[in-house]
Structure 1
């Protein structure tokens, strides 16, 4: 990763505001109540709060090319000891910041996958990668940012040394097809444990991820692992309900045109959801990036910008023109003002899943409640997230209008079974016309330099498209998307013998953009490719 060439003089006022704990509240939002949980543990302190002055100094000095590295560092002593020693020593003439860090922290290593034995084809290569990406945590680093989990899990790879929420669903697809349903079940049990322990599934198992979640695929994970077993479905009903309560916290008292955290009441009374983060400070893993973005918007409170950036990270699309007010510049980000079609489609699936399991469990009141919730959400999606041009899109709840952009998220109502056949056909036509490229389905139609825009192709979005289109009988388009993507992946694999995080729609090559270099591994690419090779087998060596 290249160091940020911009001068760092903007950091001083931002860091002073950060350390002082200043916060400018969002306009037009109701006060955020405490999220409900009866068993939630006291969250561990993230590193930017455990040793704030040291953390800011290390990131400002750019000791490491990757800002995430120090956020993941393992302290060799208790936080208060490190903090007091730093405050006592840092002003001394001979103080050496790097020497202090090396003395007090162990730096993590990337999740390497290059040591895999050469395999004859993609399927065998992916099967050989799973053991290299599997982790089993213990509690031997009590002061680090990693949250130990009770069961084995698969990490994406590279700089991503921890489990990630929505990544894991796509990884689990491949694990099942690789004969590792046991490992997929372990990952599901980890997510259930996180819900029971912290009241929700965080972005990943790091202390600095606890203030946000990611796209809610837990109900899809439960269905995948259960594979038709009603007893398995019943086992996870309490966690499914807690997941829903997390996303809907505070919604009961919302007035029309208002929002609190992740819940939004539209002006006509419809209840939908948006992304949010409970903190409004720079992300520890992208400290300088976020500080620079806030400095580029002097007319906005830095805390407002940081909240929007964090909410964008919860979306999984970090970052995309979807969240930008002008569609181009990151400093115009306003994620919390946008009701996304993918998030609300996933929450509809969560509600229908809860209703179905409650029916299996002879709970008529629960069945009725969540069936009604799902029906109301479907009506709101069809009313407010359908564009007259013939595709699903996002909605700006602050301005009371649909957003025009066509993105790969348009296929989520097909993936979750919300769309009518007519609207599915119209969406498929728009996707073929504007998003299909030689290397797969591109994320958006615009190129901004952000990694969740054109020309990047992401494995999870290929699966959402292929699965949804197949369910509605658009098999030819589904196969064309899958074939284009697999050809892209195969060509990169043949040349470089690896799978990567994202691909170029005009490939064959890895994708670009974003805050960090292209990562090898890669969990969700492995999972989606492994599943697609079952649906569309090929004899390519």
Structure 2
């Protein structure tokens, strides 16, 4: 990986004191497990008391956290202190969301998914006291497996399935939960845990609002205040930027155009992957650890954690950790994020006009037009016939195609000519026997080949269909459904990701930091909608 550009390259760094103070003194009701348990948290993670780094941050304390920490400090230096026994005495691990089935279910795939919704639904009165789980006012669906909280972008694709299953009341409740999160925190967190509050995920609340309205729920206009507030979160600091500068999630390019990147407010190991992040930073001794942590967290905000999409060029013969240590997410302006923000700006303009707020409508229509022009200039690559992510300090497109290139079709950002070119590119470079591949690169990361993911299939197929590319859209849908059904018939489960081999060799996906998870929210949602 190339070294980060010097200050003269125009990268703006916010004064360290403001974020440092915020990290040291978060609001009391949003303290993360690392905030609360300090050296106890580090000891539990470092000594691998639990095999999965996510287990301890998700534990429910069996007493007041400050009293548990005091008890640890008093006991930890005593001869024969047993950390595992101490943790077992003071914490209760959360159970996985859904257990694997040993026997074939009686239902076909459609009815199996319909039955899963109740098993994956959680209610506010089930929230453990004093844990990391954020309280919500309404019921919601969790993805499955180790993921026993509500996630941002997962939920939109899950909600598609709720609509198809006729579970519209639950769909409406989830939309209101997301509105509540924006009202309380100013953004939708990555997931409903305190340790996720420093980042968001791909902004799909506008899509949820449209889906809710289309299923007889609250009109979209009701959610205009939350849409405006989410947009303000992503654009924070934009007005003060000079060309070549960046602040949080916004970058002003050399021509004055504004585009967005992924970011995280903290530059520390992710609490749910503490050991993994510490090991990754140690594999890059030439880089400041905080820089590695920030880029890992920013990739988690993207939802693509992790992928060659975010990596530099690893040394020859590098292992997985050395390759991952080249991560450079904050240097990259992603196609999908900017397309979704174009959609958000366009939707705000439409709703503001409907509300009679002409000034807000004009302002956001202008923002949407400026973003589309910036995307055409900086992200559309005529030679490749595709939208490509941009390394903004270098002002060069990222090599290698990934499935996020189809998002401008999903958001109606592309022109008809671009859609035609892109359909040809997708068919030649990313269409494989089992569906649409995440990238062209095979790696040990889960968002690379051979894996495919439900949200990528949905956005590509629905986007292609919107531009009249029905044959390719239908082919992606058919190949994906064959993949999901083949694994279901053989293993009696739906999973988080799939290895897109030809039927009947299709299998659950692999790679990444944790084992394959069952459930699974967005797979259920996209599959049920297409069935």
Cross-structure match for 2:11: 28
Cross-structure match for 2:22: none
Change (3 A) 1:180 1:258: same
Cross-structure match for 1:516: 514
What do residues 276-323 of structure 1 show as CA deviations (whole Å, max 9, x unaligned)? 000011011101100000000001111110011000000000001111
Cα distance in 1, alignment partners of residues 217 and 83 from structure 2:
57
Of 65, 79, 96, which aligns to 1:93? 79
What do residues 396-418 of structure 1 show as CA deviations (whole Å, max 9, x unaligned)? 11111111221000100100001
- Deviation, structure 1 residue 448: 1.4
- Deviation, structure 1 residue 372: 0.3
Residue 456 in structure 1 maps to residue 439 in structure 2 = no
Instruction: Determine helix, strand or coil for the equivalent of 1:298.
Output: coil
Change (3 A) 1:139 1:528: closer
Cross-structure match for 2:231: 244
Cross-structure match for 2:177: 190
Instruction: Determine helix, strand or coil for the equivalent of 1:138.
Output: helix
Structure 2: which 5+ runs fail to align?
1-8, 20-25, 315-319
**CA RMSD of superposed structures (Å):** 1.8
What do residues 397-455 of structure 1 show as CA deviations (whole Å, max 9, x unaligned)? 11111112210001001000011111111111111101111111000001111000111
Instruction: Determine helix, strand or coil for the equivalent of 2:340.
Output: helix
What do residues 57-108 of structure 1 show as CA deviations (whole Å, max 9, x unaligned)? 1111111111100110011122211111111111111210011001111111
- Deviation, structure 1 residue 385: 0.4
Cross-structure match for 1:281: 268
CA contact (8 A) 1:113 1:133 kept: no
Change (3 A) 1:495 1:83: same
- Deviation, structure 1 residue 27: 8.4
Cross-structure match for 1:12: none
Cα distance in 2, alignment partners of residues 225 and 143 from structure 1:
32
Cα distance in 2, alignment partners of residues 250 and 429 from structure 1:
38
Instruction: Determine helix, strand or coil for the equivalent of 1:67.
Output: coil
Q: How many pairs align?
A: 503
Cα distance in 2, alignment partners of residues 44 and 453 from structure 1:
34
TM-score by length of 2: 0.92
CA contact (8 A) 2:133 2:192 kept: yes
Cα distance in 2, alignment partners of residues 289 and 27 from structure 1:
32
CA contact (8 A) 1:113 1:132 kept: no
- Deviation, structure 1 residue 142: 3.5
Cα distance in 1, alignment partners of residues 313 and 230 from structure 2:
33
Of 347, 350, 355, which aligns to 1:356? 350
Cross-structure match for 1:72: 58
Cα distance in 2, alignment partners of residues 396 and 186 from structure 1:
39
Of 420, 428, 449, which aligns to 2:423? 428
User: 1:300-449 counterparts in 2 under 5 A?
Assistant: 300-326=287-313, 329-387=323-381, 388-449=383-444
Cross-structure match for 1:255: 242
- Deviation, structure 1 residue 231: 6.3
- Deviation, structure 1 residue 118: 2.3
Structure 1: which 5+ runs fail to align?
1-25, 35-39, 534-541
